[in-house]
């Protein structure tokens, strides 16, 4: 059964290849969705997959890329809104 989660990540997460890191984690965990920068300096991630796969992605979100410093990861679980075919980085 697929679920969907939205995460808002704060800290030093823009300009440090954090979204690319999340895309790699998404491929490793088998989830689909997207990551995008927000004007307030946070990163928004929307992802779909099995509960275990999404929990694996959330672990990656907390860990962050080498140059990033994650302060908070606020996760909201919800019913899937649309079906994603892959995981992309929005620019």
Q: What is the pLDDT of residues 5-33, one digit of tens each?
A: 999 999 999 999 999 999 999 999 999 99
> Of these residues, 37, 44, 63, 78, which one is catalytic?
37
User: For the chain, how many helices (H) and strands (E)?
Assistant: 2, 5
- Give residue 1's pLDDT band: very low, low, confident or very high (50, 70, 90): confident
Instruction: Supply the pLDDT for residue 81.
Output: 81
19 is known as an active-site residue: yes
Instruction: Supply the pLDDT for residue 66.
Output: 95
Q: Residues 26-57: pLDDT tens digits?
A: 999 999 999 999 999 999 999 999 999 999 99
Whether residue 35 is contained in a domain is answered as: yes
> Of these residues, 17, 19, 44, 63, which one is catalytic?
19
Whether residue 87 is contained in a domain is answered as: no
Task: List the domain range (segments joined by +) for residue 78.
Answer: 3-82
38 is known as an active-site residue: no
Q: How many domains does the chain fold into?
A: 1
Q: How far apart (Å, rounded) are the C-alpha atoms in residues 72 and 49?
A: 22
pLDDT at residue 70 above 80?
A: yes
Domain at 50, CATH number: 3.30.70.100
- Give residue 82's pLDDT band: very low, low, confident or very high (50, 70, 90): confident
Specify the pairing of strand 87-90 against strand 32-37.
Answer: parallel
Whether residue 75 is contained in a domain is answered as: yes
Task: Find residue 32's DSSP bridge partners.
Answer: 48
Q: How far apart (Å, rounded) are the C-alpha atoms in residues 51 and 28?
A: 15
């Amino acid at each position: 059964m697929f679920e969907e989660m939205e995460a808002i990540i704060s800290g030093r997460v823009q300009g440090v290849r954090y979204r690319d890191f999340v895309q790699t984690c998404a491929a490793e965990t088998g989830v689909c969705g997207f990551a995008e920068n927000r004007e307030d300096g946070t990163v928004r991630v929307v992802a779909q997959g099995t509960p275990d796969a999404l929990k694996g992605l959330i672990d990656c979100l907390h860990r962050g890329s080498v140059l990033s410093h994650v302060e908070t990861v606020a996760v909201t679980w919800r019913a899937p809104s649309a079906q994603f075919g892959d995981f992309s980085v929005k620019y």
